[in-house]
Structures are given as C-alpha cells and as structure tokens.
Structure 1
C-alpha cells in the first residue's frame, strides 16, 4: 500500500460546518490485509443509522465502488473491501468522506398512524411551524415541509408518537425561552423508527426522562414541555433522508436543497381515528391499544399481557 500524506488526504467533510474532529459522530479507518486487500471500517460514537459518502481522490490497482454510498448501522462496520487487481502489488489510495444521520431513501408508508405527543385525554393545539431558514436566512422552504408545534395550557408530559429507538438526546438547557422568537439552544430528542423515518422532538425542560439507546412506544413519557413565546409546547418533525448530496447541501446559498424529506403524519385523535391535522386547531389525544401495539414484537406483546 502507498498512502500519500494521510494527514492531508484523509479529509473528513462534516455535515455541520466547523465541527471539530474530536466531536465527530462517525470516523472511517482503513487496514491493509495479508492478501493486500484493504478494508474500510466505520466507527460511530452516536446511535442510529448514518449514510456515508466515500470519495476516492486516488485509487490504483483496485476498482472503486460502483455506488460510493453506504448505510452504516453499527459501529466497527466493515463497509467496503478493496481487492487488488494485480494480487502481487499493493493498492494505492487516498479518500475523503462525509456523512449524515439517517438511512438513505428508506421505504416508509406515508399513511402510517401516529399518536399525538400527549397522553390520553390531553388537549393540545397543533400549529404548523414555518421553515426557520426561510424566515431568518432567506432560504427556500422545501415543498413538503411539515412541522407542528403542539402547545398546552400548562407544562405537561410529552409522550412518544411511535415505537422507536432513542438515538440522540440533548439535555443541556435550563431556562424557558419565552422571550425569544428563535433560538437553537433547546433540549431535544431524536427517535429512529423501524422504517427509517426520524421523529425529532424539540422544546423540553431540562431533565428529560429517556436515555439514548432506549426503546420507546406510543405513550412513553419523554419529558416535560418548555415555554417558548409564552406557550408551553414542543415541536415535532417526522423526516427521512432523501438525498446524499451532502456537499451541495452545505453550500450557504438560498437555493440549497434539504437532504431530508418531511412526512405529513396521520394522527389518532378524539375527533378522527385516522386523519391529518388542520393548522391552529385543538385536538384531544387518544391512545387505542392497536396504536400502542402496532409495531410490538411477539415477545413485547407477551410481556404486555403479563402486566
């Protein structure tokens, strides 16, 4: 193997500009094997699925991958092995890579039925949120943009809308943001669902109830909603990764396209057992057994009946 100036050539292009290398959620390493093949391995410091885009700056004595996009679900994932064309010679290579959270273009049902993010009998007002990048930075709102702010009269417990695994928790900020129209300093939870969609909840009081790696179900308590602009509530976004054009998405232009697509969910409410929400309307949460148990395994259902 010949690797030219690895410090310069093994560049890591991060989705969030300015993120320091020690904060990287995914790193790629390479190893030359006894048969002169090269194994590339991804290590994750964060839970959940990531999409990795590999770019070979130089590659000789081996064929490059026909599709240099890889789904990384587990840490220490050997996602690619390069085999030498001439088995008597080593492989010369250098590469850069970028990554983003989510499984690329997952197969999901836009008709999936979600619970409201509060317990049965709780009343909430659903307000469609604007695209903040358009409001404050002049960007173009995605055609399918859909995020709801679910507010309550007083501070209340926020619950999961669907079964999934908690893959990220931000629980750093103590104060409500009642005097701000916009702030990035909010506590949040990201839950990855079995079909690859992601539920992002933002707006918790410090001291959320769940931990990364925990499996939650419809109705599982996540935390207490915080106050923003004199209203208690959380925002909820159901999204999926639709593009891996990470470099283009990082460009600071008004025409930059979102990597994510957005789902307009169907919710189970007291007024409609299966329907989409209307802006600025009040809804009362219900939680039928079929919604709670919809994605449970046989073992989970068996344990449920024992309680």
Structure 2
C-alpha cells in the first residue's frame, strides 16, 4: 500500500459514527398482537445505553398515533409503544419499517460542563484540534459546531475517563502496526454515555481495552492504552449529542447530509486553568480533583469511593 492510499484510510464520520458494533445486529424492533387486539412494539438491543428509533408506518388502520413516530429506548426488551384499537371489535391493520441511531434525541446538557483531561492526574499532554476528515478527503462540509481533539503523550500511556458515564460500546479488534499511518479507519474505540445523554467517543487504543460494555466509570478511571499513529502516541476525543433523527435522509445521501450529531466544545480542568477551553497545540497538565471525580456521584458512590 503506498503512502497516499494509507493517508486516505481516514476515519469516516457519518450516521455510523457512534455505531461500531458489527458482529451482530445491535437493535431490532418486533411487534405482538395482544388478546385485547392492541399491538405492542418491543425493542431488543445488544448494547447498553440510549437509542432513538424512528418508525415509518406504511399501513395503520383502526388506531391512531399521537405525535411524531420517534421514540427513546433505554433498556433491552423495552415495550416502547402500544397501539390500541379504535373499534375494539376489530383488529388493527399495520405494517412498518424503522431506523435507529445511538443517543438520546436533543438531551438537556450544559455547554459549560467541566471535564477532566483523558489522562491521569499530573500527566502532561499536548492538545491538538482535529480537522473534519470527511471534508479533507471526501468533499463534505465541516459542521459549524465541529470540535475534536487529539491528545498526544511522549510515550504509550493510560487513557482515562473524562466524566462519569456508562460504557455503551467497545470495539477492541485491531492489533496492527499503525506507526507509519497518517490515518486509519481501523481504530479501537470506547464510547461512553454521560448522565445527561451526551456521548464521549475515544478512538485510538492498543488492543486490550480495560473496560467492558455496561460498566460505570468516573473521571480518572483507566480505559486502555493509547496507540501510536503517524509516529505519535495519542487518543482522539469528541463529545457529541444527537440533535436530529432524520436518519433516512442521512443514509441516502451521506456525503451531502448534515451531521445528525452536534459537537460540544468542552471546558477542561488543568493545572493551568481550572475551567477553560483548550488552545490548539498547547501542552497541558491533567488536574483531576476529588470535586471533579465526585461531581456526578450518588451518595452511595461517594461513600464507596471514600473507602478506597
């Protein structure tokens, strides 16, 4: 493979950005007709975390649907919709298709929320703003709110969680030598859903990620070891939220469609600034204080943390 081919192995960010589970279908909707002639729609999912599902009814008789056909699914085997017959003596006629995407639609979040750097307390890192690779290599338009970072360390180092959350996706497949690659789409990934519904995506781990799906992590908890790309050790980080459920349009025209996710410009706690936006290409030292760790803990979690 020549250098140009290697450089074009870019990370493609689109509808599938936050859907990295490939070995089995991660989401399925089934329907059941009940004895009272109602219809129950049930979501089955293999990954933890929140999904948004959009229904498209091609046929819908003897019932009514209130509001938009967009639903939030948080748990496996979630009965997220029940259709009741208008005429209780007759069955409901229906047929439907559906689309789904990871994330809670339009979650309420604070743009001023304070995060830890993705390395242990006292670690010095270089923060570099990343470009939108779809624009660089495939002619797409960079989202207006685009913000992504690459955090570099001098040597291989442990990547840590920036905020409390649930690990909702782990991709731990690749064990290839990426030292000389400028970019590669074959990257080990961890996605963490935060309590407010935002998502942190960490990309660029060595094979052997430490955490499992469904696990709760707190600021400073170890996730894995960063990998080397383009002769530098680092991890990529983006913080996003689902802002649109126009999944069908994005799938039909992925190049021309707007991102379904919004991108958050985070405030970080560092030794230089206890609450600030990072400056591109500048070095920072991680500061993970007890207050930052306990910020979103429950009383029980604080009590257990104090025992360590």
Give CA-to-partner distance per residue, 1:1-48, whole Å, 9 cap, x none.
Answer: xxxxxxxxxxxxxx55xx999832111111111111111111111111
Three-state SS of the structure 1 residue aligned to 2:202 is strand
Three-state SS of the structure 2 residue aligned to 1:57 is strand
RMSD, matched Cα: 1.7
Paired position in structure 1 for 2:216: 215
CA distance 1:221–1:20, shift in 2 (3 Å): closer
Q: How does 1:168-187 map to 2 (within 5 A)?
A: 168-187=169-188
Paired position in structure 2 for 1:262: 263
Deviation of 1:136 after TM superposition, in Å, equals 1.3
CA distance 1:53–1:21, shift in 2 (3 Å): farther
- How far apart, CA to CA, are the structure 2 residues paired with 1:82 and 1:246? 23
Q: How does 1:157-176 map to 2 (within 5 A)?
A: 157-176=158-177
- How far apart, CA to CA, are the structure 1 residues paired with 2:252 and 2:283? 39
Paired position in structure 2 for 1:202: 203
Three-state SS of the structure 1 residue aligned to 2:122 is coil
- How far apart, CA to CA, are the structure 1 residues paired with 2:162 and 2:290? 13
Matched residue count: 292
Deviation of 1:305 after TM superposition, in Å, equals 1.9
Deviation of 1:244 after TM superposition, in Å, equals 0.2
Gaps (5+ residues) in structure 2? 1-14
Deviation of 1:283 after TM superposition, in Å, equals 0.4
Is 1:285 matched with 2:286? yes
Question: Could you list the runs of 4 or more consecutive aligned residues of structure 1 that deviate by over 4 angstroms after TM superposition?
Answer: 19-22
Q: How does 1:68-217 map to 2 (within 5 A)?
A: 68-217=69-218
- How far apart, CA to CA, are the structure 2 residues paired with 1:38 and 1:252? 33
- How far apart, CA to CA, are the structure 1 residues paired with 2:193 and 2:149? 18
- How far apart, CA to CA, are the structure 1 residues paired with 2:212 and 2:21? 24
Gaps (5+ residues) in structure 1? 1-14
Give CA-to-partner distance per residue, 1:62-106, whole Å, 9 cap, x none.
Answer: 112421000000011111111111111101110000000000000
Is 1:51 matched with 2:52? yes
- How far apart, CA to CA, are the structure 1 residues paired with 2:252 and 2:31? 29
